Amino acid sequence: MGAQAGDLAVRPVFEHCYTALDGEQARALRMLSGSADPFVSVPAAAGLLGCGPQRAEDALEDLVDAGPLIPIGPAHYQMHVLARLSALSLPAP
């Protein structure tokens, strides 16, 4: 996929971010990227990740720190569409 923003290729930026994640964080990113909804709550993330709410919130906050997620309110997050598309095409680490 050739994700572009104007003259800039954004895929290398997301690939760099992705390779900096540990295995659990990378798995969480791929799992969350597969959701049809770019918005995710802690309970929804827990369901997608197959874990409890505290572990899901920790995973979401790790992804906020890494860059692909944006907090949009208490216990709610958003993943940018380009980050979602890029994450879907990346292999498991």
**5-52 confidence digits (pLDDT tens):** 554 566 677 777 778 888 899 889 988 988 888 899 999 999 999 999
- Taking CA atoms, 62 is separated from 8, 25, 58, 66, in Å, by 26, 7, 6, 6
Q: Which residue has the higher pLDDT, 92 or 35?
A: 35
Strands (E), 12-68: 39-41
Task: Considering the domain delimited by 4-88, tell me its CATH architecture.
Answer: Orthogonal Bundle (1.10)
* Helix-, strand-, coil-residue percentages of the chain, each rounded to 5: 55, 15, 30
Tokens coding 28? 């969480």
Distance CA 63, CA 33 (A): 12
**Predicted pLDDT at 1:** 43
